[in-house]
Amino acid sequence: MSIFISHLSDLMPLCLHLMFHANKQAQIKSYATAIEKKKRLVIAATVFSFFFSLLSLFGVWSFICVEHFGGCKNGERGSFARFCQRREAHSHQVGTAVVTRKDGRLAVGKLGALCEQIKELNSLGYEVILVSSGAVGLGRQRLKYRKLVNSSFADLEKPQVELDGKACAAVGQSSLMAIYDSLFSQLDVTSAQLLVTDNDFRDRDFRKQLTETVKSLLALKVIPVFNENDAVSTRKAPYEDSSGIFWDNDSLSALLALELKADLLVLLSDVEGLYSGPPSDPESKLIHTYIKEKHQNEITFGDKSRVGRGGMTAKVKASVHAAEAGIPVIITSGYAAENIIKVLQGQRIGTLFHKDAHKWAPVKEVDAREMAVAARDCSRRLQALPSEERKQIMLNIADALEANEKEIRTENEADVAAAQEAGYEKSLITSLANNMRTIANMDDPIGRVLKRTELADGLILEKISSPIGVLLIVFESRPDALVQIASLAIRSGNGLLLKGGKEAKRSNAILHKVITEAIPDTVGGKLIGLLDDVIDLVIPRGSNQLVSQIKSSTKIPVLGHADGICHVYIDKSANLEMARRIVLDAKIDYPAGCNAMETLLVHKDLADKNWLNDIIVDLRTEGVTLYGGPKASSLLNIPQARSFHHEYSSLACTIEIVDDVAHTDSIVAEDHEVADAFLRQVDSAAVFHNASTRFSDGARFGLGAEVGISTSRIHARGPVGVDGLLTTRWILKGSGQIVDGDKAVSYTHRDLTAT
């Protein structure tokens, strides 16, 4: 790996640009695997002023980072992560304020952290090139000091003349390189200096020789440090450069990214990224993916940073220029630790600029909001319908499912063929329809009086059931979840957003079509968009990764479980034949289910009995791979499990020998004292005695269906049916009562629920 560094020597504070370059033929599926390949990073830095003692350096740093990535399919992740896995180049730039303190002096800790990141990237094989400016400011400080030393008191009383910037640049170059040499030497890294001007880039031979020289340095693991040679530059005003070659550090970063064929440009700033307005404005929102057609007329830029020259306006201009030329750009914060490393790992930080970004925005934000608001309106109309009409809607949907069975099966088989998996059984559609009818025939869940209390004479308080509002359900590859969730949402009067996995795209589409066409126009079957202030609850159904990601990335309440780690404990008092049937059913019936057994715990007194050997043989006969805890691994001669907290979701499980009852989910025991203690002490969402964990299911619990199984302790726990999609509200009926300091009220607090 190699690093390129270029320096601009004007009055701008320190600015770093980091660029990564890699072999375009490599196919790298992730940032993690990309690290193993050869890469090139270009880091550009600009420095404003530097005190001779090195303690008053004013600086701006910007990084440009370039690398090759490939192998990620479109649509697998969000636009940022999708780009990180798929695109071939990366660029990074760091603003002046990133490495300076409030008093304008050098933030030594931040600068050291940036250099350490460069060292780490260098060690990982990246080719890093640093672009830096600051010689003018550094030289000005030195010449002011020299002028002061050589001046008399009479000279000091005279009007002071501004120092020649060219002379400042000439004096500051050696000192600037001394700083870099000192910092990199401490990290056992060698650096080299190269000086350029804007006129140099007009010469094709110069550009060719520049590339060859950089390649030679990179091959020797040397970090080239590029500086703009302000001492001989003919450019008078950077912002008025009619040549358009480069006019500030951001544009220089973009130029170098293009010249060196960078794969990514990352601009490090003092804010998290590009905002819709001034970052200090609470109404401003971080833009994760910049779409020129959408955002160029919507963004309001605030003032530039306290030390920078161009501010965010210059960064956006340079980013758009590079992105349109095919080089992706990310603007992110330089304050956060290891942000450059995080970008390479594919983390969704900052703002992404990309020439294909417009293809990643399937719907405008305003449209999403309109759809979400429409969904809330639909849910309120649904709540207003009489119970019998809501019931009839569900019965109509059940009939429609069976009537469209052939079309549903055709679409599902297309999904199955694409995924090379097994298809629906005919009975499943009938089962879905029957579950729908079961829920429809349940008592009306909306408006039930849960508690009725007389607060005082003639003052009655009622606690009644009420829909939550608008639900977002995110599920992966099981289209039957769509029908179950829709039935529960309709019965509970909630609006619904369904986001299914791409593996069942056709099945989800036809099921959605059948269901929405069966909903009368008085309610409406509109699609719902996702917005924090409109969606009331998120219910993810899928893998640990899906649930965990949703929980960490939304401010909306999330109801769900990240793990389905079910334990079965076989006590020494167990009926061993019963225990055998329960263990095999809990593991074999549906291994991928979240209620399948993942850990088998056996009392130590059974360890030397034939039953344990027999159950191991039975499990292996069914194709189950066995792992052991510390005791079982040694006793049974099986591989040791890495962790008890692991959800296999397949034909595999962990076995361990234990001394007594512990934190499990199902106990097989004939000793009722042991069983009762187990049922009281185990803090699981569902606890069983002499029964398979596979009974933890909404349909088997008589709920008709479930939106998922919740392991949280708030609102709903265990299989979540209609009741889990309801909340409560209070209705108070009086006849003119007032509080008045509680002087005129005689409280009775009499329970009227049973009356």
Domain range for 223 is 80-359
- Picking from 315, 330, 359, the residue at the C-terminal end of a domain is 359
pLDDT score of 376 more than 80: no
Q: Quick one: 510 and 601 in the same domain?
A: no
Residue 425 carries which DSSP code?
-
Please tell me the predicted confidence (pLDDT) of residue 537.
57
Q: Quick one: 549 and 574 in the same domain?
A: no
Separation of alpha carbons 355 and 363, rounded Å:
18
For 546-560, what is each residue's pLDDT tens digit?
555 555 555 555 555
For 696-712, what is each residue's pLDDT tens digit?
776 677 766 665 666 55
Q: Quick one: 372 and 344 in the same domain?
A: no
- The reply to whether 752 falls in a domain is no
Q: Quick one: 416 and 468 in the same domain?
A: yes
pLDDT score of 308 more than 60: no
Q: Quick one: 271 and 190 in the same domain?
A: yes
Please tell me the predicted confidence (pLDDT) of residue 38.
39
Separation of alpha carbons 624 and 616, rounded Å:
9
Separation of alpha carbons 652 and 592, rounded Å:
10
For 540-592, what is each residue's pLDDT tens digit?
555 555 555 555 555 555 555 545 578 899 998 999 999 999 999 989 988 87
Least confident of 53-67, 109-123, 417-431: 53-67
Domain of 86, CATH number, reads 3.40.1160.10
- Picking from 522, 553, 584, the residue at the C-terminal end of a domain is 553
Domain of 485, CATH number, reads 3.40.605.10
Q: Quick one: 447 and 528 in the same domain?
A: yes
Least confident of 323-337, 492-506, 547-561: 547-561
Q: Decide: 64 and 18 in contact? Cβ < 8 Å.
A: yes
Q: Quick one: 185 and 331 in the same domain?
A: yes
For 727-751, what is each residue's pLDDT tens digit?
787 778 888 787 777 777 788 888 8
pLDDT score of 33 more than 80: no
Q: At what angle do helices 505-517 and 405-419 cross, to 10 degrees?
A: 160
Q: Quick one: 549 and 584 in the same domain?
A: no
Domain of 681, CATH number, reads 3.40.309.10
Pairing of strands 449-456, 747-751: antiparallel
Q: Number of structural domains, the chain? A: 3
Q: Quick one: 405 and 435 in the same domain?
A: yes
Q: Quick one: 243 and 344 in the same domain?
A: yes
> What one-letter code names the amino acid at 506?
R
Q: Quick one: 256 and 277 in the same domain?
A: yes
For 629-684, what is each residue's pLDDT tens digit?
988 988 888 999 887 777 788 899 999 988 765 434 788 889 888 888 888 777 67
Least confident of 402-406, 465-469, 697-701: 697-701
State which of 176-190, 508-522, 696-710 shows the largest mean pLDDT.
176-190
Torsion angles phi and psi, residue 315, rounded to 5: -65, -45
Separation of alpha carbons 246 and 598, rounded Å:
61
Q: What are the helix (H) ranges across 35-164?
A: 79-86, 108-123, 135-149, 153-157
- The reply to whether 637 falls in a domain is yes
Q: Quick one: 157 and 271 in the same domain?
A: yes
